[in-house]
Amino acid sequence: MPVHPLSTRPYGQVARAGTPVRQRQRILDIFEARGAPLNRRMIAALSHLPINVVCWRVKGMLDGGLLRVQGVGRDPVTGQETEFLEATGLKVRQMELAL
């Protein structure tokens, strides 16, 4: 069976439409409105984004310096240990996309 190269076209279309930027900004707006550290589950509930999208955006925002880990604590709903995050104050910008 021949191997087909992975298409980057669908991701490129989403990125060029600005969806990741709008989602990152929505997450930062939640931190600004709440003024308290949040975990990923809380972000998903407040933003109405699926948890997998929140995890992707949070990973990128941690790597980009938009968020930082404030500490580890118990999730009030699940009782499990989780990272609580806070915004660093940096602004979201559109990233260059080279495909």
Say which CATH number the domain at 50 has: 1.10.10.10
Number of domains in the chain: 1
Within-domain flag for 95: no
- Helix, strand, coil percent values for the chain (each to nearest 5): 45, 15, 35
Q: What's the burial of 98, exposed, middle or buried (CB within 10 Å: 0-12/13-18/19+)?
A: exposed
pLDDT digits (tens, 9 = 90+) for 54-72: 999 999 999 999 999 999 9
The yes-or-no verdict on residue 5 having pLDDT over 70 is: no
Which of residues 2 and 67 earns the better pLDDT score?
67
| Domain membership of residue 58 as a residue range | 15-87
Across 39-69, b (16+ Cβ under 10 Å) vs e yields: bbbbbbebbebeeebbeebbeebeeeebbee
